[in-house]
Structure 1
């Protein structure tokens, strides 16, 4: 798996990244032995995928860049246990279209284990650390000659991919790392071409599992036993976040 852009000293020294999945999706990941990437056009933030989602004009006409349909991505973080990330990544729309918080699981992997994605799947695969820019920096990008030159190229190039590593500074707390794929057609979901499904070996890919802080302790114990008995995880690999634990401090006046 090839690196795009620059990796910080902090991430190099502690090369672990984390992703929060909904509980049912985590269970499906283990049973299907695959992770799901999405087209960046599905990201909710209107300034995500900043360059390709801009209005492109070529020869006086609006232009849809063909590369947009070839790129798939998945978002991870090098931030450890985070209250904000638990809230954001487990709050999804239910069947009624209402936003609701669901139970989640935080999985951990190591940068060198990402090579497994390239080994088990056909296509081109990359990862890079997101660069958070201020508003005035973002406003300069549509006139950046190197970006304009790269967009004139209809073949996928690294400069196209680097545009996916740009985000507004207000999201800096996410400390995001993005995995990016240009997969062969066979890996694209036949029922929804916005998704591609990549094979992994979960027990080698995942280094640790942390369950949702809102999960009742008895349910956590049951899930932990299931991971140990059914999939072979070691007990020390499985913990539960303590963010929602009750305040037990006592202050004597």
Structure 2
């Protein structure tokens, strides 16, 4: 049993389903290497991640924050287009308690992001947050322009308390996971060709999934 455990935000319920859009390559890497990865938030494309650095003393960040992005949206045209530009993306589905299967996370948080319009205002409001969430809240801020992503983040601090050790000079931290226990559903890009769908089904069967991948019916005329 972890000494501190993974904190689940009060808005993340036991029956909440979480989704991660990814390329085929990243999906296969997760399956073949039985690993998932956390990324240094400061290396993310949006330079307004960790916005506290932009207006406050940078020394306030005692340790590097690493994160992984998920979404509450399992049906999203926008997210398919963002994360699957080649029309061959994969969407995996899981539940909050499954994040306890990720190895070496001794302490961290799984929480919806906090979307903001006024940075100074939201930073002032965050000063009232207490408890352990306060340690990670700097990594949960995101501009309202991205609100359509309905994002949930897994966040840890790169230190001994959260990961058992401190990883040095890396943008990514790879952690072991059993994808066959972690993944509850596999959804294929709604724009994918039939041959591609069959290939993904064959691959998942061959590597040992009990799950049968399905093609997203986002554009199915039967939904009208």
Aligned counterpart, 1:67: 62
The corresponding residue for 2:110 is 127
Q: 1:17 to 1:145 in 2, by over 3 A?
A: closer
Higher Rg of the two aligned structures: 1
Report how many residues are paired.
213
Partner of 2:207: 230
**Structure 1 gaps, min length 5:** 58-62, 92-100, 151-156
> 1-side partners of 2:93 and 2:204: how far apart?
15
The DSSP-based 3-state class of the residue aligned with 2:54 is coil
Q: Indicate the residue corresponding to 1:206 in structure 2.
A: 183
Residue aligning to 1:89: 83
Counterpart-to-counterpart distance in 2, 1:132 and 1:142: 11
TM-score, normalised by the number of residues in structure 1: 0.73
Q: CA deviation at 1:102?
A: 6.0
Provide the residue aligned with 1:98 in structure 2.
none
Q: In 2, Cα distance between the equivalents of 1:22 and 1:85?
A: 12
1:164 matched to 2:159 = no
What is the alpha-carbon distance in structure 1 between the residues aligned to residue 197 and residue 104 of structure 2? Answer: 33
Question: 2:89 touches 2:188 (CA, 8 Å); kept in 1?
Answer: yes
Point out 4+ residue stretches in structure 1 off by more than 6 angstroms.
none
Contact 1:104 1:211 in 2 (8 A): yes
Q: Contact conserved, 1:220 with 1:240, CA < 8 A, in 2?
A: yes
Given the alignment, which residue of 91, 94, 100 partners 1:106? 91
- 1:204–1:4 CA distance, 2 compared to 1 (3 A): closer
**Are the aligned partners of 1:5 and 1:162 in contact in 2 as well (CA < 8 Å)?**
no
Aligned to 2:6: 2
C-alpha RMSD of the superposition: 2.9
- Unaligned 5+ runs, structure 2: 158-162
TM-score by length of 2: 0.81
